[in-house]
Amino acid sequence: MRDKYPDFVERLEKEGMVSRRVMGEEDDPSSAIGRGWKSMFSTDDKLVAEQRFVFSLLSLHRFPFTFSRIDMDYKQNLEHLQWFWFLIATSRAAELGVKLEWIGDGSMRRVIGPNQPIKHDKSRDRKIWFNGMVTSYTAFGDEVTFGSGDALPDDAVYHCLHIMEEESVAIPWQKGDVLFIDNLAVLHGRKHFTPPRRVLAALCK
């Protein structure tokens, strides 16, 4: 990408990237990502949905402590502990530049960024393409922009898609397979498939 679109890459590094996604109230079975926010967060209460969304960010948090460093009496007070985690989750949301907006028709808009789509992999001492720009821009209908709010150049995004397709490797899944992926080394995704199919996924560090 830097070879063909140096100005584009430089601007991404300078400004970062913002992505927006709208979830309706109800599920849309015609879309691969058509879950509504009521189904996503198992509630029809907007406040509860906001809280559950914020809590979902905890899986991405790097905690500077272990439970053993929290006072035992405090751990036993569930109400206080839930509030404690909510404060951490809120802090994480601010760190990621994540916020929710409610639209007049009852839909929820999730805004993330600006964040850095190009990161530095310390273990390999190199810059890496660490973002879902192409997927959001070409398939999911997200509004993806530069950090300034300016639109991304269509040709640059589709050139990136071309590179990804050329470099992609299809894994011939078999029942019982386990696949470990280092997302600092490679991106991951899936092609269209014919049901039934069940793949379990988890994150680890």
Question: pTM score, two decimals?
Answer: 0.72
Residue 33, in any domain of the structure: yes
Whole-number Cα distances in Å, 62 to 57, 65, 71, 129, 192: 11, 9, 20, 21, 33
Q: Is the pLDDT assigned to residue 13 strictly greater than 60?
A: yes
Residue 191, in any domain of the structure: no
pLDDT the model gives residue 119: 93
Q: How far apart are CA 77 and CA 183, in angstroms?
A: 37
Pairing of strands 17-23, 143-146: antiparallel
Residue 202, in any domain of the structure: no
Residue 135, in any domain of the structure: yes
CB 165 within 8 A of CB 10: no
Residue 81, in any domain of the structure: yes
pLDDT the model gives residue 65: 40
Q: Is the pLDDT assigned to residue 4 strictly greater than 50?
A: yes
| Structural domain count, the chain | 1
Q: How far apart are CA 7 and CA 4, in angstroms?
A: 9
Which tokens in the block code for residue 106? 């009852």
The answer, yes or no, to whether the previous bond of 153 is cis (omega within 30 of 0) is no
Tell me the percentage of the chain whose pLDDT exceeds 70.
Answer: 78
Which CATH number fits the domain that encloses residue 66?
A: 3.60.130.10
Q: Is the pLDDT assigned to residue 174 strictly greater than 50?
A: yes
Residue 79: burial class (beta carbons within 10 Å; 0-12, 13-18, 19+): exposed
Residue 44, in any domain of the structure: yes
Question: In terms of residue numbers, what domain contains 56?
Answer: 6-167
Residue 12, in any domain of the structure: yes
Span 9-31, mean pLDDT? Answer: 90
**pLDDT single digits (tens) 110-120:** 888 898 999 99
Residue 43, in any domain of the structure: yes
**pLDDT single digits (tens) 72-100:** 454 455 455 555 555 666 666 677 778 88
